[in-house]
Structure 1
Amino acid sequence: MTQANPPRTDITVRPADRPGDLGWVVMAHGEVYDQQFGWNTDFEALVARIVADYAADQDPSREAAWIAEAGGERAGCVFLVADDEPATAKLRILLVTPAARGLGIGTRLVDECLAFARRAGYRRVVLWTNDVLVSARRIYQAAGFTLTDEKPHRSFGHDLVGQNWTLEL
């Protein structure tokens, strides 16, 4: 009889407020998406813009970012930023490193993000993703997000299908 692996107790989720956190987010996205999907540096540049905008203009009462750690090493991240629409926030740049997948980190990060959104008074959270990101989509669906539209686009060196998802809080 095979015994299931016990849940890891060394996983923590903390604010992305330590030196190196923001740079790690950009680097990890660039490396992981290149290795997994062959995406070019246009994607890393997009993530760098998202991170730079957050760092320059963050409103701590309405925006936050988190880092997940497993065994004391960075293993994932997610950002929540204000949208241009009133009472709407955007979930951005969710990532779990390949070595840390299957540990529930993505779900924990999204849960943290949504709890913050509720405390901040948002009524809706939106996100944009691509259909090839199957595991992330499963997390979004489990959290209650619904697909609102999708359309093909050419980005990051590939033909992709972009998707917009919405969660009413």
Structure 2
Amino acid sequence: MSPQDGPPHVVVRPADRPGDLGWVVMAHGECYAEQFGWDGEFEAMVARIVADYAAGHDPAREGAWIAEVDGERAGCVFLVAADEPGTAKLRTLLVTPKARGLGLGNRLVEQCLDLARAAGYRRVTLWTNSLLVSARRIYEAHGFTLADESPHHSFGHDLVGQNWTLDLA
């Protein structure tokens, strides 16, 4: 897009169109392989998250969103119920490299937190890896705090996994 075209048209909408869920899996696989060299184990994990959501979610308490820039998918996020009562999990936040810097990550996280509050969740948690610095900045800006971290070998690499928590009460 050239500057004379004006600002990009950005929309955040429910992930309810044909191809949305498949795009989430594909985009994660492609972006993380390209940026970090992560292997198919990561894409398989995202596919399980998406499949669990697709197999049955409570629309009053769980949601998935797609961010579009000029009509093209450019980001996503899910909010799902955790095993612990009163707790939701933020999952699969992604903004494609060409769409970064437009505030999509913040808008997607806001969608999750709006639903979490409306659904009466007391806490939202998420798991990420320490090298995902931009995502961590978004989480911190929304009030998430680091609960714990531990090294692990996943996706073909030695990583540091982190659990983050946001108390909504």
Distance 1:145 1:8 in 2: 30
Deviations 1:50-92 (A, max 9, x none): 0000000211111000000000000000000000000000000
Distance 1:41 1:29 in 2: 10
Distance 2:11 2:86 in 1: 29
User: Paired residue for 1:16?
Assistant: 15
TM-score by length of 1: 0.95
Amino acid corresponding to residue 150 of structure 2 in structure 1: K
Superposition deviation, residue 30 in structure 1: 0.1
Which ranges in structure 2 are unaligned for 5 or more consecutive residues? none
RMSD, aligned α-carbons: 1.5
TM-score by length of 2: 0.95
Aligned pairs (5 A) from 1:22-101:
22-101=21-100
Aligned length: 166
User: Paired residue for 2:150?
Assistant: 151
Superposition deviation, residue 99 in structure 1: 0.2
Distance 1:8 1:155 in 2: 39
How many percent of aligned residue pairs carry the same amino acid?
A: 75
Which ranges in structure 1 are unaligned for 5 or more consecutive residues? none
Deviations 1:109-144 (A, max 9, x none): 001110110001101000000000000000000000
Q: Is the 8 A contact 1:8 1:103 kept in 2?
A: no
2:124 is equivalent to residue 125 of structure 1:
yes
Q: Following superposition, which runs of at least 4 residues in structure 1 exceed 2 angstroms of deviation?
A: none
Amino acid corresponding to residue 28 of structure 1 in structure 2: A
